[in-house]
Structure 1
Amino acid sequence: MASLVILAAAAAAWIVFVPGATLTLASYGITLPFVAPAAEPASPGSGRPAGGAGGGRGGANRQTNVVTTPVTMASINTTLTAIGEGTAARSVTIAAPTGGNLAEVLVRPGQTVAAGDTIARLESDNEQITYDGAKLAADDASATLERTQGLANSNTVATTAVTAAQLAYDKAALDLRNAEVTLGRRTMTSPITGTVGLIKVTPGNYVTAQTPLTTIDDTSAILVDFWVPERYAPAISLDTPVSVSAIALPGKKFTGKVRAVDSRIDPASRTLQIQAEIPNADGALRAGMSLSVALNFPGEHYPTVNPLAILWSTDGSYVWKFVDGKAKRVPAEIVQRNSDGVLVRADLAPGEAIITEGILQLSDGAAVTLLSGPDGSTDQAATKP
């Protein structure tokens, strides 16, 4: 019994204090005998407020007070950041071309060498003796050939003697070249200009052709290999500018360009491998550094609305736009949510007024009263920064 009394009291309070309650009941065919019928809305220019002379609650054309905020534009997918590892523009490992005892190392770690500079030598006594013997034999063969040719000119010797001397000289010359190559293989030189790495062996050790002696890196430029999602593949091409920062060098920025783009997408990760080249004249970057690579793109531009303006229905998300004193429903597909706004795919222009307060009482085409905010006019939209 007490429950019925409480329900009846609540219903009576709703009818008395909620504006438009009698109209709501009337729309369902319920007429209360103790409540006066709602007054007709005032005609334009009559000077009488809607809802009767006293301006009572629940007028049929009762306006809703609203607050609006302007539509702004925002861009997404304008920057891509990836992590890559730096490598030297050119890098070689110095190793002995043949086996032998290491006689001397002529460089030190961190030293800059030019192409052709000697790095180390193997013991070469035997090879030097062989070369010297070949050199003597070649010199003797050359002198014999010259003397035989002189005698042939005076018809002192036969032509066959000249031919034999020529063959002897050619063989001696080949032996000399072979001895020279063998001796040269005892010396290790740098094929590039660069910086010497750590020396991994010391003089006196026996080394083979598979024993690395040191490395030389040309770090005048640093190559960065990184991977990007396949959706960015069409936007990246050779010479695309990149910006690079090193974790080990906070606050410093380096610029470069894309040097190479892989010809295929990795099917496992759905990413594309990119290689960028970063000039490094001052040597600040080192091979092996972890680098953050950033690429800029035109991006995609979308209208941005206040998060409070978004509503949902069975047809999806939508917003209310303030147009000429009325509320207009505009479908708004959400693209991305940010802390300061929601990017939407909708028929909205920068500066247009979107209702953010009073939205729960609106219907399409309903008249509303603007309390604060832009009215979406052309002038206001044009003066927005």
Structure 2
Amino acid sequence: MRVWKQLLISLGVISAGVLLWGRFVPGANDMLEAAGLPSTLVAAIAPAGEGGADGGREGGRGGGFGGGPALVATKPVAMAVVNDRLNAIGDGEAIRSVTVTPYATGNLTEVLVESGDRVEQGQVIARLDSDEQRIAADQARVARDSAAQKLARLQALRSSTSIAELQDAETALKAAELALRNAELALRRRDITAPYGGVVGIISVNPGDYVTTSSAIARIDDRSEILVDFWVPERFATSVRVGGDVTATAVARPGETFTGKVQAIDNRIDQESRTLRVRARIANPEDLLRAGMSFQVTMRFAGDFYPSVDPLSVQWSADGSYIWRVKGETVERVPIHIVQRNPDKVLVRAELAEGDQVVTEGLQTLRPGGAVRTVAQQEQQTPTVTEGS
């Protein structure tokens, strides 16, 4: 057979196949239009009036291949909420924490506390050698007493004492008193005290050690309350408020929940992580929590409500995603914008109301305005056969 005859036969077979495909395959009309073919050619290949191609677009009631209502399964639209809960990991710190250092240099003569002891504000926790300072304080006290006696004698002999001598004596007494106060201050600073109450950490110094003003004597934590710093995603930045309720669970104490309040919020978003730093304050009256613990922090908000549909109902086209909604005895195509996809449901932004029936099965033959019959309707219409009838 000549080549040109073979080409004509092949072209005829292909043309016949395209015509059959256009008339009997659902969606052929839409696919050809989306491909950019002229409307006249699309009408010739897949006429809109054909039940298998686009039955129902011109007002036809046919939804299936046979022209009757298409059998579909549906599920109702539910309302779901997102952004109503925040979970974050935070780090705990004592409400107050300080590393105690001496005011002066010298050798330690006593360490009066042990690791884990609870101390009160002003309690002496260690002492430096103070012999030199005691002598200096005694000397200053003697000088003060001598100046006071001299002024008293001059005041007793006021009639024979000039005003200048009295003023000099008064000045000398004031200078002696200041010198005594300075000596007593230097003596007091040989005692290393706790600036506030708390629990003493591990002590790394011993009596006899020479320490300076930068030497760490002890670390004291006031853990009557715990500060928890955590980071929240940027989308929650406008929802978090100072004073908001917080619940926290310590990783070291699973099953126990602690409550607190938001104490502070940072003034800017971290540009690298796109998160906001938040600090919560949690009461610790039973001293169950420790500084440095890791916490699972939870906050609740009003959240945003969206329609929720079954994942099987979501379809896609060149115009985007959509679903089929049953309206009476027909279906209509509703465009949607997916907000959140979960394994069991999809949250969408669309003109849907709670309870609307959305098609989940039998989607292949649906057309806008096409007649449908739901599985539930068919079951109601099927007569029940009883025994003995």
Normalised by the shorter chain, which TM-score bucket?
0.7 to 0.9
> C-alpha displacement at 1:161, in angstroms?
3.0
- CA shift digits 1:90-123 (9 cap, x unpaired): 1111111111000101112212212111111101
What is aligned with 2:169? 165
Distance 1:83 1:29, change over 3 A: closer
> C-alpha displacement at 1:207, in angstroms?
0.6
What is aligned with 1:68? 74
* Correspondence list, 1:13-162, <5 A: 60=67, 62-152=68-158, 155-162=159-166
Is residue 259 of structure 1 aligned with residue 290 of structure 2? no
Aligned pair count reads: 329
- CA shift digits 1:130-157 (9 cap, x unpaired): 11121122122222222321221xx143
- Partner of 1:242: helix, strand, or coil? strand
* Correspondence list, 1:312-327, <5 A: 312-327=316-331
Q: Distance in 2 between matches of 1:327 and 1:275?
A: 52
Q: Distance in 1 between matches of 2:45 and 2:302?
A: 59
TM-score by length of 1: 0.79
What is aligned with 1:189? 193
Distance 1:373 1:314, change over 3 A: farther
- CA shift digits 1:151-189 (9 cap, x unpaired): 21xx14333332232122112112101111111121111
Is residue 233 of structure 1 aligned with residue 233 of structure 2? no
Gaps of 5+ in 1: 1-7, 31-49, 52-56, 375-385
Contact 2:88 2:231 in 1 (8 A): yes
> Which amino acid counterpart does residue 196 of structure 1 have in structure 2?
V
Q: Distance in 1 between matches of 2:275 and 2:374?
A: 51
> Which amino acid counterpart does residue 368 of structure 1 have in structure 2?
V
Contact 1:68 1:373 in 2 (8 A): no
Distance 1:199 1:352, change over 3 A: same
What is aligned with 1:44? none
> Which amino acid counterpart does residue 169 of structure 2 have in structure 1?
A
Q: Distance in 1 between matches of 2:100 and 2:359?
A: 72
> C-alpha displacement at 1:267, in angstroms?
2.3
Contact 2:65 2:365 in 1 (8 A): no
Q: Distance in 2 between matches of 1:58 and 1:109?
A: 85
- CA shift digits 1:278-308 (9 cap, x unpaired): 1112111111111122222222211111111
> C-alpha displacement at 1:210, in angstroms?
1.0
TM-score by length of 2: 0.79
> C-alpha displacement at 1:370, in angstroms?
2.0
From 260, 267, 271, the equivalent of 2:275 is 271
Gaps of 5+ in 2: 1-12, 29-42, 47-60, 379-389
* Correspondence list, 1:193-232, <5 A: 193-232=197-236
Q: Distance in 2 between matches of 1:275 and 1:248?
A: 20
- Partner of 1:294: helix, strand, or coil? strand
